[in-house]
Chain A
Amino acid sequence: MILLLALIMLFPFWWALRTALSEPRSIFRDTTSLLPAEFTLNNFARVVGLVDSAQAVAMGGSGTSINFLLAMRNSLIVAVLSVTGQIFFSALAAYAFARIVFPGREKLFALFIAALMIPGIVTLIPNFLLIRELGWMNTFPGIVAPKLLMAPFAVFFFRQTFLSINRDIEDAAKIDGANHLRIFLRVILPMSVAAVTTLAILSFIGEWNDYLWPFLVGRNEDVRVLTVALGVFRSQTPQGAPDWGGLMAGAIVAMIPTLLLFLIAGRKAVDAIQFSGIK
């Protein structure tokens, strides 16, 4: 049973690697062997931009020069910026909702919750127009802006977490003259490391994998993220077959950061994901 499970979960990874390590022309001839058909590293050389267009065609690729390393840098910038921004600001707001009594609190919180229910596609078009009017098309601020200041789910999630923290410690801090910011930074945040990690991992996965938004506002190569680059790479050949060798090499390059995250923080990641549901 576990073996079967491992097969189902892992085989696609192996098959992608096997294809990425095969000579593009042999992929068509040898469709079944479990080992690479004519081993080569050319596909990887092509996707990380080590060869030019003409050489790529000679290697049997699509000739499109898409620089996946650049795209990976862009993805990292976008994901790290959005994750840190949205977690910090959301937690800040969540703290106010959980710990400070002020007029209009419930109504304001309800507004945040209401935003959770708006499907992405509804705000997508007007946001696209907004970014256009700001002149932020094909810029990092354009890609990051809508996610930087908050995520409704994060506000909701952090509020739940903060509500469950014992108030005594805070009260003690207040007596020592600490203000809210200090309490937030020194007491609440350190006590919520698990929640922050959970959300950081989840939203990193989410932002790293986001496709439609960056596809619309970040098409230029200098800001194009990995998912978009892969999509563009896929639509290269009008009538020919997709460049499977190159695509799979690109896919593997795209996996690396999240897989690394997983290897480094494997146990944490598993716990984090489990944790997010019980809250």
Chain B
Amino acid sequence: MVVTAKPAPNVQRSSRLRAWKRSDTWAAWLFIAPSLLGLIIFYVVPFGRGLLISFSDWNLLTPAEPVGLANYSKLLADATFWRSLWITLSYVVINVTVQIGLSIGLAAFIARFTQSVWVRGLLILPYLLSNVVVALLWLWMLDPLLGVINEALMAIGIGRQAFLGSPQQAIATIAAINIWRHLGYSTLLIFAGMQVISKELYEAGAIDGAGEWHMFWKITLPLLRPVLVFVLVTGIIGSFQIFDTIAVTTQGGPANATRVIVWYIYEYAFVRFEMGYATTLAMALFLILLVVTAIQMRLLRAGESDL
């Protein structure tokens, strides 16, 4: 009974599946339709439109004037643009390297000494706050005269620092603020990556007489590569677009020391209302990120093979 009954459902099954397939295509499109609509209306079309606007002069109140490639040649000769690019880059480098370095250390520390959810919860707390709130908190604590941090520095004899008010310190200070917010997040990602690594590898290492430090370098770090690449890629793309913290704290100052690329675009678009040049700058940022991502994709692919 059991043996003879078996083929029947199989036949039935495959014919049903085939019938099922026929309606698949339009079901798929139906499923994708809302997202596709969103994609077209809010990503594809705007992108094309942005490109079009970049070939014109437009203040949104009087009609746009076509100017051809004038905005692009202006861009190439715009020293402020190149400077803002440089500022952005220095921010990205400080932010990403320090954050990842600290996160690895912290994650290793947590993995080794405590499994408490509370400690991890503590770390993630700042990430729950908005950039605006975080920026306000630190703006207040870093205040040159009334800020509690300067009072502390005075007490231990270092003396007051201008922090956000100093062209030399401002960008590093902003990086530090954002590191405070994102540290827990990247630490958790890396910590999770560490949890996935098989314990047996460490046991084997221990049998071979490898020290903890040695195992960290030879086992933990190489196996963490996929997670590290993820943190790196999202970190770099995100840092390139730093805006909120600067909008709340320095607004590009002092002496334009924190005029990062997105702030510069914002100034052109919504302070000076020169939409043509603003979109040109945005397109430039897009190209830069494309190149950066392309380089990182290589890394990413390399990362996959390791897993």
Which residues of A line the B interface, CB within 8 A?
A: 1-2, 5-6, 8-10, 12-13, 15-16, 19, 27-28, 31-32, 89-90, 92-93, 95-97, 100-103, 105, 108, 111-112, 115, 117-127, 129-130, 145-146, 148-150, 152, 155, 171, 174-175, 177, 179-181, 184, 205, 208-212, 216, 226-227, 230-231, 234, 242, 244, 247-248, 251, 254-255, 258-259, 261-262, 266-267, 269-270, 273-278
Contacts and interface: CB of A to CB of B under 8 A. Distances in A.
A121 to B, nearest CB: 5
Given A15-B137, A117-B289, A125 B282 contact: yes
A contact face: mostly helix, strand, loop, or mixed: helix
B92 interface: no
Given A5-B123, A103-B25, A255 B117 contact: no
A205 B128 contact: yes
A9 B35 contact: no
Which of B130, B286, B293 has most chain A Cβ within 10 Å? B130
B163 interface: no
Contact of A118 (B47, B53, B109): B47
Interface in B216-253: 227, 230-231, 237, 240-241, 243-244, 247-248
B165 to A, nearest CB: 14
Contacts of B139: 242
8 smallest beta-carbon distances between A and B, as pairs: A149-B38, A209-B130, A277-B189, A126-B46, A274-B192, A150-B35, A93-B35, A96-B31
A10 to B, nearest CB: 7
Nearest to A145: B42
Interface in B254-307: 262, 265-266, 269-270, 275, 278-279, 282-283, 285-286, 289-290, 293
Given A112-B35, A209-B129, A230-B136, A121 B265 contact: yes
Given A150-B34, A274-B192, A112 B39 contact: yes
